[in-house]
A and B are shown apart, each in its own frame.
Chain A
Amino acid sequence: MIDPLIINTIVYSSILGLSSLSLTLTYLTTKVPNFAQGVFLLLGSYVTFTVAEALKQNPYLSLPVAFLLGGAVALIQYYGVLLPLSTRGGSLVTQMVATLAFSILLYGGLNAYASYLDYVYNVQSRDVTLGFLDYNLGGGIRAVFLVSAVLAAAFILSLYLFLNKTRLGVSVRATVENPSLAESMGINTKLVKTISWFLSGGMASAAGSLYPLQFVFSPTLAYSILLSVFAGSVLGGLMSLFGGFIGGFIEGFIEKYVVTELSIYLSPVIGVSPFVINQYSTLVPLIVVAAVLLIAPNGIMGMRVKR
């Protein structure tokens, strides 16, 4: 029997870690902070909802679908919004605001889709969890616990091998370090950016597809989790992919585990129910970002890299 709090923490932290990693990936290659990252997670969640609840299929079938769909939508964002802006001389701030606009569009679309599911399939598509559709492995453990950990490990391992062992991966690293030099060395940096956007959208949606199997989700998830994703990336230093994952994981650990434990200790002291204190976990991302920027502006990975 594993403590449910630990299961919650591991699932949430893995999802957040992958999302922060995805955010860092496109930030490194195109320098644009993607405010649509939260909606990509939500997209994955609705893929799972569609597959498992509306179509009554195995919920894990949604993983590859969410990955491909998330990647495709990210490419639409890159080719349809960001690339036209940057070729017309749009600044990074313009592009950043454009990601916010794109996220609102996508968010509206998903909300409309949620209402469509409500009416056509007669299911509740907001404020629901799909935990009951997950496989029970016994001992209070459900499949999503293992799948989230394995998915995170698999993505990280494949990304590591891709970046270090393949030519294309090496050219991604070159583009991150110095895009114009990489171009001069014959590297197609536009291809590199295309790949990074696809992978980023894909990974975020795949991670988001696991969320409904453990937690209650609603379209508002897109923006409530966005802060945590950014906090994770900042904590990771915004200059290292694996730092992004670790940052996201730590952020998730603080939000779920530390805050819950803390609320149990604090409750008798200040005379407020632990559930009330737990509501304040949304403050954690803000505190983390502020603390990181004050104490270690380069994040956890910046602490040991001395130049």
Chain B
Amino acid sequence: MGLASVSSGKILFEGDDITKLPPYKRSRKGLVYVAQTDNVFKTLTVEENFKLSSYDLSEDEYKERIEIVFTLFSQIKDILKRKVYQLSGGQRQMVAVSLALLRKPKILLLDEPTAQLAPKVANEIFKKIIEIRDLTEVGIVLVEQNAKKALEIADNAYLFTSGRVLFKGKPSELLSNPELGRIFLGLGV
């Protein structure tokens, strides 16, 4: 996303080299990132968060995008006026994903969206990720510690270790590869 420094290699987005682009320009291109922690403006209300995230959108675009958010997360309508620091972990995560969706992503980068959440809430988030894919047709890059769950919903799987791609292919192949599964994903013994 441009927040960390790149030691080697380059990043292409829609054919353009964006390796040296500052994060805000990447975001304006449609590459939208949801960080693992600190992914919402805590001292502001949910609505103020939305206004900030969509501050370069027109009024009409905002209305159109907010409808998508309400369709996906119907509970958000009830907490619009609440300050984010008063919300539960699951609600915050929904707000964080909504912020990203408001930005009209072409690619949505989700960094461990279920970290620090109770298993029940985590399952809820996984369901929502599938709904987002089907409803908005946005490409989603998901980095996840709950590897098994993530592989079950993914279309493609990549296994990175020490900055190198160790595996690239169908999630089912990775799930059924006993060695990689044991070492990296904690599957079976």
- In the complex, A184 has a CB within 8 A of chain B: yes
Measured CB to CB, the nearest residue on chain B to A188 is: B24
B24 and A189 form a contact (CB under 8 A): yes
Cβ of B149 to closest chain A Cβ, rounded Å: 25
B56 and A170 form a contact (CB under 8 A): no
Given the known inter-chain contacts A171-B55, A177-B42, please indicate yes or no for A185 contacting B35, CB distance below 8 A: no
Cβ of B38 to closest chain A Cβ, rounded Å: 6
B41 and A174 form a contact (CB under 8 A): yes
A184 and B38 form a contact (CB under 8 A): no
Measured CB to CB, the nearest residue on chain B to A168 is: B55
Contact with B along A188-199 (1 / 0, CB 8 A): 111000000000
Across the interface, which residues of A come within 8 angstroms of B103, CB to CB? Answer: 185-186
Given the known inter-chain contacts A180-B35, A181-B40, A185-B103, please indicate yes or no for A174 contacting B52, CB distance below 8 A: yes
- CA distance in complex: A178, B103 (Å): 17
- In the complex, A304 has a CB within 8 A of chain B: no
What number of A-B contacts does a CB cutoff of 8 Å give? 61
Across the interface, which residues of B come within 8 angstroms of A307, CB to CB? Answer: 85
Q: How many residues of B contact A (CB 8 A)?
A: 26
A187 and B42 form a contact (CB under 8 A): no
Measured CB to CB, the nearest residue on chain B to A183 is: B23
- In the complex, B43 has a CB within 8 A of chain A: yes
Given the known inter-chain contacts A174-B41, A177-B42, A307-B85, please indicate yes or no for A185 contacting B53, CB distance below 8 A: yes
Other-chain contact of A180, B23, B43, B55, B99 (Cβ < 8 Å): B23
Cβ of A287 to closest chain B Cβ, rounded Å: 31
- CA distance in complex: A60, B8 (Å): 56
28 example contacts (A-B, Cβ-Cβ < 8 A) are as follows: A170-B52, A170-B55, A171-B52, A174-B41, A174-B52, A177-B42, A177-B44, A178-B41, A180-B3, A180-B23, A181-B38, A182-B52, A183-B2, A183-B23, A183-B27, A184-B27, A184-B32, A185-B24, A185-B52, A185-B99, A185-B103, A186-B24, A186-B27, A186-B28, A186-B56, A186-B103, A188-B24, A307-B85
